[in-house]
């Protein structure tokens, strides 16, 4: 039995029945990681000995066994105490946080095993994992293609069975889009559902941590572990966490599903469109009621997003200045610059940040500058409210909304990296969700002729992850896409 290709809920069952051991799972996984890392570059860092010793030390802290013995890969922008956490950036090279993110504490309290850190776009700036300061992660279905991004390492590792579970973070689609490109399940929870404490901020009002898994039930289990109020994060919500694993198994008969017409216009790949249409029919077969709806402000989402997200990012990334931690440019031998401090700032940031990070810092700084603030940032906030209202109105009549996750399947490495605007447009279907703060899940719903996965996105009401997971689970049980694996 190849343990690497099993889901967490299956492994939990086998462990419970003492048919397998945790050591066997770890051995199988690390053997596969060592074989596939040179090929796929999904990991930013991993160390088998360290993973095992950390797991041994953690055993006393385990409070419940919801994830006992289940390995999980952590995106490299989530702080793990005393472990490299670099955001795939040169400026945080060698940075080891002195504390755990709240999600890490929760995972370890449930008995999960931290496998290592996942590669990503630098500071989560990107949709392809090409902007990592380490290396480009590859799509396990076609090594010439990107895995999506920014959580490309997490999605690739799940799809290529190098981990059982993974955590990603999603600011504009960074969990859902790579999940869709790699044929995995990716969930962005409602803003405030999962604590952001210890998630290295990109855009604080949009960021959420979420699961990337092999199937919907695993996503439900992982979400229930990491969710819930955290006094250390003022934006986390004091709303009870339901038993997702139980609710998802309820039928979808009578569920009202909206299909927004704005998501099926020019730019969408024909094969993608066809898959989504088939998925809609599948839901009808399952007894759901599907109707076309309108989200009229959809076309502004990308513009609004690239103002709000870059503005916040420019401020969040100001702390990387070489003073306390991370990379500091060496001081020039001679002559002494007129302002050594300014010189240190400039050279540290010039050498420490990659091109996309610099581009976003510049954009955000400009958008917040005196004289431009009202025209850009303030206006963007107003349109953000309109986008949110579109969803509020739709959810008065519908339980969830179906869309494609991305207009296309995975694109070729190098295809869009020189053209930021085209790259930004690949997030066109995922961005509104972050602006509105609502939850969204991407699940496999088909393959292109070139055998590339296609993702279906299901969106729900704030804090109603249960409904979208239920829809996703019912679809998954009625189809077989999630059972296919890339041959590697």
Partner 1 sequence: MTYETIIGLEVHVQLKTESKVYCGCSTNFGSPPNTQTCPVCLGFPGSLPVLNKKAFELACKVALALNCKISQQIRFDRKNYFYPDLPKNYQISQFAKPLGYDGLLDIFKDGTTKRIRIRRVHLEEDTGRLLHESLENFSLIDFNRSGIPLLEIVTEPDLDSPEEAVTYLASLKSILQYLEVSDCNMEEGSLRCDANISVRPQGQTELGTKTEIKNLNSFKNVKLALEFENKRQLNILKSGSRVIQETRLWNPEREITDSMRTKEEAHDYRYFPEPDLLPFDFEEANLEDIRKTIPELPDARRKRFIKEYGLSEYDAGVIIQEKTLADFFERCAALYERRKILANWLIVELLGILNQNNINIRELSLKESHLVDMLKMIDENIISGKIAKELLPEIIRTGRPPQELVSQRGLLQITDTEELERIIEQVISENPKAVEDFKKGKPRATMFLVGKVMEKTKGKANPKLVNEIIEKKLKEEI
Is 410:178 a contact under the CB 8 Å cutoff?
Answer: no
**Interface with partner 1, residue 61, by CB under 8 A:** no
The owner of tokens 């690497």 is 4
* Among 90, 188, 196, 416, contact with partner 1 (rule: CB under 8 A): 196
Q: Shortest distance, CB of residue 318 to partner 1, whole angstroms?
A: 4
Question: Exposed, middle or buried, 358 (CB in 10 Å: 0-12/13-18/19+)?
Answer: middle
* Among 17, 18, 38, 98, contact with partner 1 (rule: CB under 8 A): 98
**Interface with partner 1, residue 97, by CB under 8 A:** yes
Among 41, 75, 416, 461, the one annotated catalytic: 75
**Which residue lies nearer to partner 1 by CB, 48 or 358?**
358
Is 204:312 a contact under the CB 8 Å cutoff?
Answer: yes
**Interface with partner 1, residue 487, by CB under 8 A:** no
Backbone phi, psi, residue 240, to 5° = -60, 150
- The pairs formed by 363-368 with CB atoms below 8 angstroms and a separation of 24 or more are 363/306, 363/307, 363/310, 363/314, 364/309, 364/310, 364/311, 364/312, 364/313, 364/314, 364/315, 365/314, 367/307, 367/310, 367/311, 367/314, 368/311, 368/314, 368/315
As a whole number of angstroms, the distance between CA 278 and CA 185 comes to 18
* Among 44, 200, 313, 423, contact with partner 1 (rule: CB under 8 A): 200
Is 208:188 a contact under the CB 8 Å cutoff?
Answer: yes
Contact pattern for partner 1 over residues 351 through 390, marking x by CB under 8 A? --------------x--xxx--x---x-------------
**Which residue lies nearer to partner 1 by CB, 341 or 483?**
341
Taking the C-alpha atoms of 258, 205, 124 and 82 in order, what is their torsion angle to the nearest 10 degrees? -130
Contact pattern for partner 1 over residues 218 through 237, marking x by CB under 8 A? -------------xxxxx--
Q: Shortest distance, CB of residue 200 to partner 1, whole angstroms?
A: 4
**Interface with partner 1, residue 45, by CB under 8 A:** no
Q: Confirm whether 150 is a catalytic residue.
A: yes
Of 325, 428, 435, residue with least CA distance to 391:
435
Which range, of 92-100, 106-114, 242-250, 386-394, touches partner 1 by CB under 8 A? Answer: 92-100
Is 163:29 a contact under the CB 8 Å cutoff?
Answer: yes
As a whole number of angstroms, the distance between CA 348 and CA 303 comes to 30
Among 110, 132, 150, 195, the one annotated catalytic: 150
Q: Shortest distance, CB of residue 72 to partner 1, whole angstroms?
A: 18
165: β partners:
72
* Among 37, 45, 58, 205, contact with partner 1 (rule: CB under 8 A): 205
- Supply 344's token pair: 């240190």
**Interface with partner 1, residue 407, by CB under 8 A:** no
* Among 42, 118, 199, 401, contact with partner 1 (rule: CB under 8 A): 199
As a whole number of angstroms, the distance between CA 91 and CA 345 comes to 12
Q: Confirm whether 75 is a catalytic residue.
A: yes
Footprint of partner 1 on this chain (CB under 8 A)?
77-79, 85, 87, 92, 95, 97-99, 101, 196-201, 203-205, 231-235, 311-312, 314-315, 318-319, 321, 323-325, 341, 345, 365, 368-370, 373, 377
Residues tagged active-site: 75, 150, 174
């Amino acid at each position: 039995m190849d343990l690497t290709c099993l889901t967490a809920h299956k492994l939990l069952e086998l462990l419970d029945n003492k048919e397998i051991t945790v050591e066997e799972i770890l051995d199988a996984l690390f053997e596969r990681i060592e074989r596939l890392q040179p090929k796929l570059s999904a990991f930013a860092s991993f160390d088998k000995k360290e993973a095992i010793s950390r797991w041994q030390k953690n055993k006393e802290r385990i409070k419940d066994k919801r994830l006992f013995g289940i390995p999980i890969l952590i995106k490299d922008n989530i702080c793990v105490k005393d472990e490299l956490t670099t955001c795939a950036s040169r400026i945080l090279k060698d940075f080891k946080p002195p504390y755990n993110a709240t999600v890490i504490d929760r995972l370890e309290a449930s008995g999960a095993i931290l496998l290592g850190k996942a590669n990503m776009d630098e500071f989560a700036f990107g949709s392809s994992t090409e902007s990592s300061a380490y290396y480009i992660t590859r799509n396990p279905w076609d090594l010439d293609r990107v895995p999506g991004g920014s959580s490309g390492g997490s999605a690739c590792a799940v799809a290529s069975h190098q981990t059982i579970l993974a955590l990603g973070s999603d600011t504009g689609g960074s969990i859902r889009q790579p999940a869709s490109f790699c044929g995995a399940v990716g969930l962005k929870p409602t803003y405030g559902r999962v604590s952001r404490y210890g998630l290295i901020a990109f855009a604080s009002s949009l960021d959420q941590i979420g699961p990337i898994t092999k199937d919907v039930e695993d996503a439900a289990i992982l979400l229930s572990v990491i969710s819930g109020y955290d006094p250390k994060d003022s934006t986390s919500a004091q709303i009870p966490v339901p038993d997702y694993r139980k609710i998802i198994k309820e039928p979808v008969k009578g569920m009202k599903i909206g299909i927004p017409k704005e998501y099926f216009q020019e730019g969408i790949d024909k094969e993608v469109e066809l898959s989504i249409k088939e998925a809609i029919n599948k839901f009808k077969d399952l007894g759901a009621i599907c109707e076309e709806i309108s989200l009229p402000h959809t076309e502004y989402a990308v513009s609004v997003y690239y103002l709000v997200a870059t503005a916040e990012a420019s401020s969040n990334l100001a702390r990387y200045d070489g003073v306390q931690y991370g990379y500091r440019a060496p001081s020039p031998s001679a002559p002494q610059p007129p302002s050594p401090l300014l010189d240190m700032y400039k050279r540290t940031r010039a050498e420490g940040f990659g091109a996309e990070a610099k581009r976003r810092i510049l954009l955000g700084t400009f958008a917040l500058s005196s004289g431009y603030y009202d025209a850009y940032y303030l206006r963007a906030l107003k349109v953000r409210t309109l986008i949110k209202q579109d969803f509020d109105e739709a959810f008065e009549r519908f339980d969830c909304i179906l869309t494609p996750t991305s207009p296309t399947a995975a694109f070729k490495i190098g295809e869009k990296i020189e053209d930021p605007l085209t790259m930004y447009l690949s997030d066109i279907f995922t961005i509104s969700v972050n602006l509105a703060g609502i939850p969204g899940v991407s699940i496999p719903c088909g393959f292109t002729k070139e055998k590339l996965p296609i993702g279906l996105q299901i969106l729900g009401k704030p804090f109603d992850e249960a409904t979208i997971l239920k829809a996703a689970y019912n679809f998954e049980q009625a189809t077989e896409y999630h059972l296919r694996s890339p041959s590697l």
